[in-house]
């Protein structure tokens, strides 16, 4: 029985080999590579156009091809002639109709490194991060001028599900207007932290753990201690606006930089979020002592000193 099965399998393989004209292992390998490249190209094209009007155009083209087949089967000569004439110029029409998507895709390939071409995450992710950070910076700058307190947490590789469950899920695109609206005093969502996951405002009114570091400046209020506490237990980064002084602060790895400029905040956020999945990059500092120090940056002089007091309500 085993011999019969083996003989049948050999005949099937010989038939496949003759049908596909495979004469050696290298012929099979070339065919696999060929199919893989074509499949990859089709996949990248579908990903590039899925959120654009081109996707609707493809659906229309497929319906047109289906109508052509039906016309041929039903021998509708006039309709078949018209559709065939249209299909003959279809390749040129596709290039014209999809020109913006094709151009954008080729530009992304040109800007990407070798790894980015295959992952598709290099430039597109950085562009999303840039847009999101600029929106946050605009909101923070406005709230700083208006002395509106804010606490914005950026999730990195550590999942913040436990913190998110304490708040209200929003799942909205990050915008300066929405962030300012959330932190308007005496509104339902203003008390707590906003959690930004990827490029969306995932949740608001979330409660953060307070820092357990006893060496922090005694004048740091609850908002700042909560921001530092979140970075002690995860690799997230936090932007904070003081309600009393309007100072902008940035917390990461149990450390805080206070009274920084908008440009400095943008720089720190981009550095952290570009490398959020890089295990060799910045790491969470959970030790006490020197690793959990408070840093104050003086906006006027640009000098840094430890333990500067801000005073008042935070």
pLDDT at position 204 is 95
- Per DSSP (E only), the strands in 31-165 are 150-154
pLDDT at position 285 is 40
Give the C-alpha distances (Å, rounded to integers) separating 269 from 6, 168, 209, 311: 63, 24, 21, 26
- Can you name the residues that pair with 194 across neighbouring β-strands? 152
pLDDT profile of the chain (314 residues), mean per 10? 67 64 70 85 72 67 81 82 79 75 68 53 72 94 94 92 92 94 92 91 94 84 92 93 93 92 94 67 39 41 36 40
pLDDT at position 233 is 86
Query: Tokens 């990407």 identify what position?
Result: 112
Classify strands 150-154 and 193-197 as parallel, antiparallel or unpaired: parallel
Span(s) in the chain for CATH 3.40.1700.10: 123-306
- The residues near 297 (Cβ < 8 Å, ≥ 6 apart) are 257, 258, 259, 260, 264, 303, 304
Please check whether residue 202 is in contact with residue 155, taking contact to mean a CB–CB distance below 8 angstroms. Answer: yes
pLDDT at position 86 is 78
Pick the CATH number of 123-306 from 3.10.450.230, 3.70.10.10, 3.60.10.10, 3.40.1700.10: 3.40.1700.10
pLDDT at position 4 is 67
């Amino acid at each position: 029985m085993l011999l019969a099965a083996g003989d049948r399998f050999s005949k099937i393989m010989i038939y496949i080999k003759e049908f596909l004209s495979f004469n050696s292992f290298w012929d099979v390998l070339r065919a696999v590579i060929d199919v893989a490249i074509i499949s990859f190209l089709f996949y990248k094209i579908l990903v590039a156009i899925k959120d654009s009007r081109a996707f609707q155009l493809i659906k229309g083209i497929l319906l047109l091809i289906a109508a052509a087949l039906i016309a041929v089967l039903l021998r509708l000569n006039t309709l078949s002639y018209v559709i065939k004439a249209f299909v003959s110029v279809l390749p040129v029409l596709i290039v014209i109709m999809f020109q913006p998507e094709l151009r954008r895709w080729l530009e992304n390939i040109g800007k990407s490194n070798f790894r980015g071409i295959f992952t598709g995450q290099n430039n597109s992710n950085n562009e999303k991060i840039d847009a999101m950070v600029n929106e946050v910076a605009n909101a923070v700058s406005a709230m700083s001028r208006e002395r509106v307190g804010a606490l914005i947490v950026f999730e990195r590789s550590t999942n913040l599900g436990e913190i998110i469950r304490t708040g209200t899920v929003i799942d909205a695109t990050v915008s300066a207007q929405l962030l300012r609206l959330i932190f308007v005093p005496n509104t339902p969502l203003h008390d707590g932290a906003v959690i930004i996951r990827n490029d969306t405002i995932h949740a608001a009114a979330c409660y953060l753990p307070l820092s357990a570091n006893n060496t922090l400046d005694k004048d740091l209020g609850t908002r700042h201690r909560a921001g530092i506490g979140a970075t002690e237990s995860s690799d997230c980064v936090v932007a904070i606006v003081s309600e009393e002084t309007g100072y902008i602060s940035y917390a990461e790895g149990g450390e805080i930089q206070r009274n920084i400029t908008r440009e400095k905040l943008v720089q720190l956020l981009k550095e952290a979020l570009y490398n959020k999945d890089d295990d060799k990059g910045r790491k969470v500092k959970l030790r006490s002592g020197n690793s959990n120090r408070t840093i104050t940056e003086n906006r006027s002089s640009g000098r840094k000193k430890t333990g500067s007091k801000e005073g008042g309500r935070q």
